[in-house]
Structure 1
């Protein structure tokens, strides 16, 4: 093994210090006048004692540690190494000299103390040199930062800023609402006051940036702090959520601009790891639509639970390639099978199930864009109904344990082709659950922030282009979730599934898309209506002002997880499903145009009416 020059220098310094510790122990013991016979003994003991110590230092990883960040952990490693080394030195010296101690016993004790002082002191000195910039020219601070939150996360941020920027960032102080912390000194940084004092200290110290380091506080507190900072005219950044900091480490790259997702107003998702591990570990898991927004996140999270094989099934080659490369890097020991195939291809599905025998299936493949499906209704049937039946039937044929269908709130009292076809998909899997040993369930939730074609990426692109930001209606309301939390709850729901359920995810409070537009413009550093115009364009084909999560007849019951509910099962129209959906699929007699599609849907949803297509779709109409 080759070591850097730093390690070699450190080893040389340690060898010198270990020799000196024993020599000084003799000087102290004999008041500066060491008898000649003990000098000879010193030269006999010191070399092999030094070798023992350095071997132990290697074993305890002292030469792999970054001593410029030395703390209690590093000092304890030194103490463990010195203690064991001193014991071995005494035992070997005792045995070598014929059951007598070649040096006075007090010398060994003094040597032990001095070694800890010398070796530990050398490491701490190196950190002091670095922290106080004695080893080089100190950079002048070109940015002044104030940290909001003087708890563990705030202290971690302060340490990281100090070590990463080498003095080019000046931390003017903490602000914290805990009055007991006011005027305290933490990491040589003063706690200046509470959040109400932010404007005063921003002006007094000419602060350039406030970092919110309060990952576990209530969302309302974050909103208030953002409002205070906005009025103070200072830039704001934020630390990730508490679950992102579970390892106790913070990197500068994690300190980021505030996003709309930070203001959704829900607690972090907590899942039952034991339940999830029990049904995913060592299983063959198939994820259709595995390259999409939801599907790729399903792949990432499922991979953490150590499945035997992960099958990524998607019709988009580029999407499959990207998630396959990502997972192979993150999970090098996981068997991953990327498949560029379409759920409408029944033969390809049968061959996949026959070859790999998936035990758990997550069906995320779907056409999801509302206006787009209004213009392509027959394709919505093919993908969202035919494709769902193909995958679900294959799961039955090859005895999969669980089949989890990703549905949408747009399936409730649908006014769009997309929503209606997803509702038919729900009916299909509920019907199959009555005749199969496989447990079929659906998970229904609303919009996910950041998914391809969703409103947030569209707003960001419009802001980057200088506006206008287009909102379809001033009163349009939507439920929103982040992709990771939606997927966490989907996986948790899968662990709870017994068969036939439609799980409803708690989406929190509905959000006006107009409010989202205002927030995103402000978070981008602009003024709504002044710097960036907001334009109301009118509702698009198939859209509703208010989305629903339940039909009138369904109702809801609670589950063991406070964020997951179960819709009460309605009547299953078995004969109609067998004849009008499965029969048509088997005969290859699917709708070929809008009128035929509407007629097929109305056989199950009599009140459904499609929308007349009069204008070509535009890029801004993707929902």
Structure 2
């Protein structure tokens, strides 16, 4: 009923415009003939209505419709509309001449009228439109001072809801919609007209004097968003977007809130859709423990566990302020859930024992780690202590406590590591393999690439550099990285834990790697700046330990599809448990006396594929050539 009423409400004004234009045709045609023949002593009869007049109205009306004269609105009449009217009048004259010639060989039709008709009709049609626009504009200026004129991109349900919200706020004035759906062209949504296509945003924004663009397309994929954002950037106006439903449900946006377009909205792949049924089935009513619970990954992991059925969540964090914030946010959002907090280092056996006794967990997620590549190149002792020895302490305690599942959160840098971070995380993976206990504890490793907007990632760094006016520092124009969002990373962790395999290494099929240079350029444009004029990019060269490209699997790790189409499972390479335990014991001794050189040799011996960037690998045999393998349901790629 509402849709019928809206359509009828949009039809009435359009019908009035059609009647006005036909009345102008009748007036011009008859008026010119009266003026022409009125000076004669014996003028021919000129009835108000005749077959000739009906043919003129029919021919001209048909041309008006075909030219598209009624797709425009008087409220926004401009020079292009006048040109359209002129074409309609000229073509209408041709149609009238043809119709009258066939009817009566143009008997009693003045040649002077034929010449003057299109010019006079153009004035009679164009003047009311321009006067109406001038009147409406002056009325808006008098009655809506301070109201921001908004052009909405997307005339669907989100756009309709947005108009209602804007009207309730009062200081925003929606002037029109843009939508690529041809069936919506010329209609009205909540009384607001659909003015054209998205690609015409610059021209229509100028004609409507819009001051803000709002993208109301929460279901658009990354490619569509890049096209829409490009059109908005071309207009030179600021733009915002209606948040996606999943952002509202996850608590990252408020209903009715307009947010800036984020860089993750422009990623070149679809977000992973987890199998929530299997996750809830595995996670439901469990007690879980999360280390590094105050970090970007750890805190989001706690929220995901709370949202999807965990009975109790225990937070272990060494940073007191991060722990306070994480616990406060969880208690605010999930007041009925049971939480416990432990302040301490998960490499301390006493802290670990206390946390396990307090939580009695059925699953442990080990997110605590040092992860800053350039910093760790000069902090080998702390990297080994936190990333390797703390992992061994926690994993061994979990095995002794018979925890059901231990999940190690690793990184793509652990594949053919070229830096201290990658080598220590690879060593942590090997430690978990050496401790694997088929009878009681499942050890699961989850690898993923860079996480957008996580603490210390490149996105917050670029954002701050852009805010200061640049320059934005990129290490190399060719450097690429795999990217995912924080929620996606945590969903991958939970999905991998729910799959149920022993000693497995999981990774997300993350599509194609993203050039960091393009990431920086997109962020500059999203900030409303022009590359090269407002903010420049400076290439600083690769930092210590950095590689141009990362890989997700080692050539010797044979991987296969899992029950989730976007998660792949690798068979871990075999390790000698006794040698791993011996290496860990030796590292503890070297850490105890802060012997960095000894630690360097021990790490290189334990992780033979570790080849610091710029140095040859320490293994004697030459490295095998890259092996081409096929991802499930994807094209072949090198690993």
TM-score of the superposed pair, with normalisation by structure 2: 0.71
Displacement of 1:607: 4.2
1:144-179 Cα deviation digits (max 9, x unpaired)? 111111111111211111112x1x211111111111
- Residue 443 of structure 1 corresponds to which residue in structure 2? 446
The answer on whether the counterparts of 1:160 and 1:252 sit within 8 Å (CA) in structure 2 is no
- Listed as ranges, the matches of 1:200-599 within 5 Å are 200-244=203-247, 254-434=257-437, 437-581=440-584, 583-584=585-586, 592-599=594-601
String of CA shifts for 1:220-243, please: whole Å, max 9, x gaps.
111111111212222221122242
| Residue in structure 1 matching 2:160, options 149, 155, 158 | 155
Secondary structure, counterpart of 1:539 in structure 2 = coil
Asked whether the 8 Å contact 1:271–1:489 carries over to 2, the reply is yes
Matched with 1:602 is: 604
Change (3 A) 1:591 1:402: farther
Q: 1:402 to 1:230 in 2, by over 3 A?
A: same
Shift of 1:197: 2.3
SS of corresponding position for 1:172: strand
* 1:130-149 → structure 2 map (5 Å cutoff): 139-140=144-145, 142-149=147-154
8 A contact 1:288–1:365 mirrored in 2: yes
Compared with structure 1, are the counterparts of its residues 270 and 611 closer, same or farther at alpha carbon in structure 2 (3 Å cutoff)?
closer
Secondary structure at the aligned position of 1:442 is classed as: strand
Structure 2 gaps, min length 5: 1-141, 616-639
- In the alignment, is the contact (CA less than 8 A) between 1:291 and 1:319 conserved in 2? yes
RMSD over aligned Cα, in angstroms?
2.3
More displaced, 380-389 or 217-226? Answer: 217-226
d(CA) in 2 for partners of 1:251 and 1:343?
Answer: 35
Q: Which whole-Å deviations, capped at 9, do the CAs of 1:497-548 have from their partners, x for residues lacking one?
A: 3210100112232111111111111111111122112111111111000011
Q: 1:440 to 1:333 in 2, by over 3 A?
A: same
1:80-127 CA-to-partner distances (Å, cap 9, x unmatched) read xxxxxxxxxxxxxxxxxxxxxxxxxxxxxxxxxxxxxxxxxxxxxxxx
Which residue matches 1:16? none
Q: Distance in 2 between matches of 1:481 and 1:590?
A: 37
Distance in 2, matches of 1:611 and 1:315, equals 31
Change (3 A) 1:586 1:268: closer
Deviation at 1:457, TM superposition (A): 0.8
- The question of whether the paired residues in 1 share the 8 Å contact of 2:316 and 2:355 is answered with no
Q: What secondary structure is seen at the aligned counterpart in 1 of 2:436? A: helix
**Counterpart secondary structure, 2:194:** strand
For the Cα contact (< 8 Å) 1:503–1:565, is it kept in 2? yes
Q: 1:604 to 1:435 in 2, by over 3 A?
A: farther
In the aligned structure 2, how far is the partner of 1:174 from the partner of 1:521? 27
Q: Distance in 2 between matches of 1:597 and 1:142?
A: 66
Give how far 1:266 is off.
2.3
Partner of 1:3: none
Kept in 1, the 8 Å contact 2:547–2:613? The answer is no
